[in-house]
Chains A and B, each alone.
Chain A
C-alpha cells in the first residue's frame, strides 16, 4: 500500500470512527436543506414556477449536490494549515519521507470521501422527499464523481491558499474570506445563471465554480460531461499550485526550538 493510499485510508477510517462528528455534519446538512428548500420554494412560487431556467426540483437537487461537495471538506482547513506552519508543528511532518502536502491532501480526501457518502445517503433521501426524483438520473450519476472532484479541488485550493502562512506565519480567519469565494463565485448559495451577467462571467473564470456549481449544475439535470473536464483541468492546476507553494514554503521555513 502506498503512503498516500494509506493516508487516504486513515482519513476515511478516522471519520467513520467518529459518529458524533458525522452526526453533527449530517444534521447541519439537513438543516441547510430545510432552509434552502423554504427559501427557493418561496422564490419560485413568487416567480411563476421557475427562476433563471431552474424549476423547484432542479434547484433543490442543485442545492443538494453543491452543499454535499462543500460540506465534505474540513471547513477550517486553511486556518489549521496556517496554525501548523505558524507554530512550527509542520516541521515534524517534514521528517516523513513523503510530500507534506501530498500526505495532507490524501488524508483529507479520505475524510471527505466518508463525509460525502454520509451526506449522499441522508441528503439524497431528504431532497427526494422535498423535491421528488432527480430531473435526470444520468445527470445525477455524473454529479456523484463531480462532488468528489469538487471536494478535491477545494482541498487542493485550501492548501495553496493556506501556504501563505509560510510567509505571513498566520492564516487565521482568512478561511472566512476563502469560504465566501466558494459561497458566491463558487455557486454554493446561488446558481451562477442567477447572478448578474458580468459576475457570472467572472465566476466562470475562477476555480471556485468547480467546487460547488459543477456538481450542482449536473444534479439539476444538465448531463454535460464537459463540466467534469472543466473540473479535472482546475483540479490539476490547483494541485500543482499547492505542491509548488508548499515546496517554496518548506525551503524557507525556519523553526526555532523544539
Chain B
C-alpha cells in the first residue's frame, strides 16, 4: 500500500512539475465542461422538460460524470490505456517490480486535463445542484461508486487485448461508448439500448442511477449500485490478472 501511495505521490509531482502547463490544461478542461453545461442550458431552454428530466437534474448527472471521469481518467489515468500498454509490451517493466501490477499501473500516471473535471464537478454541484446534506452525501457516494464502475469497465475492456490481440480498439470503443451514454439522461433510452446500459456498457451505474438517487433516494437502488460497482471492480481486476497469464513480452528490443 505504501508503494502505491508513493507511486501516486510521484505521479502527482510529475503532473504539477510544470505548474503553468498544469493549470493551463485544467483551465481548458473546465472551459470544455462549461461548454457542455451551456449546451444543456440552451437545450432545455428550448425544449423544456424531457422525459421527466429538467436542466437541474442533468446538471447533477453531469457533475457526477465529471467527478467519476476526473477520478478514473485523471487520477488513475492509465485505466483507459491498459490495452495500449499490453499491446506495446509496456507491462514488462511493471511485472519485474515487487508490487501488485494493476494498482501500480493505475497510480503511475495522472492526467492534468482530467483533473480539471475533478475540480469542476463538485463546484458545479454546489452552485447548481441544490445541495443539501443528504443530496451532497448521495452525490459523493454515487460519484465514488460510478468511478469504480468506470475504472473496472475500462480495465476490463483494456485487459481483453491480452486475450484477443490488436491494439486495444475494443477498449477505445468501450471508452467512447460508456462516456457518451453516461453523459445523457438514462430515461431517454428504452428497449435494447437500456438493457445494454445496465449490462455490457454499464453507463447507467456511472451516472444514471447515482443521479436518480440524488434526486430521490431509494435503498434497493443504492444497494444495487454498491453491489454493481464492486462487481465491476472485481471484473476489471480478474480479467487483468487472467490476461497477465497470457501476456508475453512485447519488448521493443526483442522484436
Q: Could you tell me which A residues sit within 8 Å of B by CB distance?
A: 20-21, 23-24, 27-28, 31-32, 34-35, 38-39, 42-43, 46-47, 51-52, 170, 172-174, 176-177, 179-180, 183-184, 189-190, 194-196, 199
Contacts and interface: CB of A to CB of B under 8 A. Distances in A.
26 contacts: A24-B173, A24-B176, A27-B177, A28-B177, A35-B180, A38-B188, A39-B188, A42-B51, A43-B46, A43-B47, A46-B50, A46-B51, A173-B25, A173-B113, A176-B32, A176-B113, A180-B32, A180-B35, A183-B39, A184-B35, A189-B39, A194-B43, A194-B46, A196-B42, A196-B45, A199-B42
A184 B38 contact: yes
Interface of B: 21, 24-25, 28-29, 31-32, 35, 38-39, 42-43, 45-51, 113, 166-167, 169, 172-173, 176-177, 180-181, 184, 188-190, 193
B217 to A, nearest CB: 25
Contacts of B188: 35, 38-39, 42
Contacts of A196: 42, 45
A238 B24 CA distance: 26
Given A39-B184, A39-B188, A173 B29 contact: yes
Contacts of B25: 172-173
B189 A38 contact: yes
Nearest to A176: B32
A184 B48 contact: no
A20 B169 contact: yes
A180 B31 contact: yes
A221 B175 CA distance: 34
B172 A24 contact: yes
Contacts of A195: 42
Nearest to B43: A190
A47 B47 CA distance: 7
B46 A52 contact: yes
Contacts of B184: 35, 38-39
Given A38-B190, A46-B49, A177-B31, 18 more contacts: A20-B169, A23-B169, A27-B176, A31-B177, A34-B193, A35-B188, A39-B50, A42-B50, A47-B48, A173-B28, A173-B29, A176-B28, A176-B29, A176-B31, A176-B32, A176-B113, A189-B39, A190-B46
Contacts of A52: 46
Contacts of A47: 47-48
A194 B29 contact: no
A189 B38 CA distance: 11
A7 to B, nearest CB: 25
Given A20-B167, A173-B24, A173-B28, A46 B48 contact: yes
B189 to A, nearest CB: 5
Contacts of B32: 176-177, 179-180
Contacts of A172: 21, 25
Nearest to B50: A42
Contact of B50 (A20, A43, A174, A180): A43
A255 B137 CA distance: 53
Contacts of B113: 173, 176
Nearest to A193: B46
Contacts of A190: 39, 42-43, 46
A29 B161 CA distance: 22
Contacts of A176: 28-29, 31-32, 113
